[in-house]
Amino acid sequence: MPFITILFALDLIITGIVGFVVTGKEHITALIPAFIGTLMLVLGVLAFNPKLRKHVMHGAALVAVLGFLGTISGLTDLPKFLSGNLDAIQRPAASVSKLITNLLMLHFVVICVISFIEARLARKNS
């Protein structure tokens, strides 16, 4: 899981940096995915320590849940994107960044839940 956490963190950092550049480097809020990614990167690196892994991975899952909830408004623009109605979206670049962040966070939470269940079953069977 630490390696997967680092990969998701790098995806978030790239999303934030690209969003910041695409929006003309005007709004620092475009870097929010990068800030979340940096926090997850630190947690992913700390998770390589076996003594810290359980707590750190639960912390990373919590960050992902909060990130998912914080960007859930990005899902409201998804139907507009899919229909090609980009004129109806006030800030398309911000919406895309929120949507990408939201989907990355959801994916990470699902992977964490599966991993936590597998770890519990492994402990139970040993």
pLDDT at 112: 92
Confidence band, pLDDT 50/70/90 cuts, at residue 6: very high
What value does the mean pLDDT take over residues 89-98? Answer: 82
User: Could you please report the per-residue DSSP string of 46-111?
Assistant: HTTSTTTHHHHHHHHHHHHHHHHHHTGGGGGGHHHHHHT-GGG-S-HHHHHHHHHHHHHHHHHHHH
pLDDT at 90: 79
Q: What is the pLDDT of residues 31-82, one digit of tens each?
A: 999 999 999 999 999 999 999 999 999 999 999 999 999 988 878 877 777 7
d(CA 112, CA 1): 8
Please count the other Cβ atoms lying within 10 Å of the Cβ belonging to residue 6: 19
